[in-house]
Each structure stands twice: as C-alpha cells, then as structure tokens.
Structure 1
Amino acid sequence: MISLNACIGSIAAICTTLAFVPQVIKSWRTRDLSGISLPMYTIFTLGVILWLVYGLLIGDWPVIIANAVTAVLASVVLLLKLKSIARC
C-alpha cells in the first residue's frame, strides 16, 4: 500500500507539473512570449533542474519524474523566449 506521504507527494508533483502544460501550449502556438519574464524563467528552470538532481540524489521518484517533466516544459518556454529575443 502506498504511504500517505508518497500519495500527497505524487499528487503535488502531478499538479505542479500539469500547471505548465497550458503555458507551453500557448507559447508554442502563438509564439507570443512578451508576457514571459526571461530572468524568472531562467531562475525557475535552474531551480527545477536542481530539484531534479536532488530527487536523483535521494532516490525519490515523484520528485524525479515531476521535475524531469517540468524541466522539459520550462526549457521549451525558456528556449522560445530566447529565440523571440534573438529575432528582435
């Protein structure tokens, strides 16, 4: 049986990861990233990558999976933002 801690951690991981999906879809479709803060997304993406490393170090699968997926999603938005800046 799954522990309460693991259950709460897994639900939290799913919620925070899914929260990025609409932003990635909107950014991908519209290519309008004017409302996206480059410093915020840079720091956030770095933080997510560090959480991923932390999850790997402690072997916590909800942390690992959620942050791996979130790192990919945040990186997509960050790369789109960088491309939009480069075009200016």
Structure 2
Amino acid sequence: MNENLLGIIAGILTSISMIPQLIKVIKEKNADEISLVMLLVLISGLSLWVWYGFIKDELPIILSNAFAVLVNISLLVCYMLYKK
C-alpha cells in the first residue's frame, strides 16, 4: 500500500472520530458528559500536528488534523452552549 494512501486513510478515520459525539451533543443539546480538559488537550495536540505538517510539508497531516481541529472546536462551542 502506498504510504501516502495509508496516511490519508488514517487521517480520515481519526478526523471523523469525534463527529458522532458532536452529532449526539447537538441532537441532545447536552454536553454534561464531555470533558473540557480532554477537548482542550485534544485541540492543542491536533493543532501541533497541523504545525508539524507544515514544517514537514505533508498535506495529509495538515488536512486531516486541520479538519479534526475544526470538528473539536465545534464540539467545544457546543460544550460552552449546552453545559449545564
């Protein structure tokens, strides 16, 4: 398997992993079971991966992690809106 293809598949899977959680929070309008610390650490780590991707000029790393940052920032916004 081509290593770029492997990176793209891995990036897609990790990037979409939080989408079911985001959908659940939006549908239920409830973020009580979401950890703020986990979200902040995850967003920080993903942002560092984006930065690393730019340093290494690796588009799969940049795109997948940038998408994941956006998904998790959306979850953070929902956390702030729906946390009781």
TM-score by length of 1: 0.85
Q: Take 1:52 and 1:39, find their aligned partners in 2: how far apart are those partners?
A: 20
Aligned to 2:56: 58
Q: Take 1:63 and 1:13, find their aligned partners in 2: how far apart are those partners?
A: 7
Aligned to 1:28: 26
Letter in 1 for 2:52: Y
Q: Take 1:19 and 1:49, find their aligned partners in 2: how far apart are those partners?
A: 16
Q: Take 2:45 and 2:39, find their aligned partners in 1: how far apart are those partners?
A: 10
Gap regions ≥5 residues in structure 2: none
Aligned to 1:75: 73
For residues 45-66 of structure 1, the C-alpha deviation after alignment (integer angstroms, 9 at most, x for no partner) is 1111111111111110110110
Letter in 2 for 1:34: D
Deviates more, 1:28-37 or 1:64-73: 28-37
Aligned to 1:46: 44
TM-score by length of 2: 0.89
Gap regions ≥5 residues in structure 1: none
Deviation of 1:83 (Å):
3.0
Q: Take 1:30 and 1:57, find their aligned partners in 2: how far apart are those partners?
A: 40
Secondary structure of the residue aligned to 2:32 is coil
Deviation of 1:4 (Å):
1.7
Q: What is the RMSD of the two structures over their aligned residues, measured on CA atoms?
A: 1.4
Letter in 1 for 2:44: L
